[in-house]
Structure 1
């Protein structure tokens, strides 16, 4: 499916734009999403996202499983006192929250530096106005 184009004989209007995925087009017409998805810029964006999401997800899953398995099978270790009434299980439980917040903040920084500029570039090439 291709984007409907303005006939070449018609004069361009203020609603006409040009982008890298095709020629002149009317801004009221939806972008050619299949062409965008097959572009090298979109492939680069997906690759960058996967290179962050999969390793971080695997690492967090392993960390969570260590916590869950220790909680289920090593009661003696988890109930060792760290300070006062605080035990190792409580510390590990709280560290789950800390690690989640760390992942969120790290992803936010990663997205702002690596993904958002690439998304902006794809929007620019597709002629999508994000205003």
Structure 2
């Protein structure tokens, strides 16, 4: 068996392991719903900007209107999601990924 074939078999074994499947499940169970929520939030902003101009143009104070607030909240939500994902990854994904990495390193030696 060549080194390349050995490496491939190690990765195939890891990929079929319960830990790897759990890692994928945890990643997807957080990422897919959060992506859908963010896209819905962004689409709401776009739809309101296009079809509810009077509402979006409502001035809250001075020259600050609802559209500007919604636009700024897009940035806030993006950074909030990135922060939340880093916490999720640190607590739920990284321990399993580290365990799998060590297993691969041990098998590859």
> Normalising to structure 2: TM-score of the pair?
0.88
CA RMSD of aligned residues (A): 1.9
Rg (Cα) greater in structure: 1
> 2:81 maps to what in 1?
103
How far the C-alpha of 1:83 sits from its partner, in A, is: 1.1
Which position in structure 2 is the counterpart of 1:87? 65
- Alpha-carbon separation, structure 2, partners of 1:103 and 1:123: 26
Provide structure 2 residue ranges, at least 5 long, that are not aligned to the other structure.
none
Structure scoring higher RCO (CA < 8 A, sep ≥ 6) equals 2
Normalised by the length of structure 1, the TM-score is 0.74
- Gapped regions of structure 1 (runs ≥ 5): 6-25
Matched residue count: 104
Larger helix percent: 2
Q: Secondary structure of 2:7's partner?
A: coil
- Report the CA distance between 1:91 and its aligned residue: 0.3
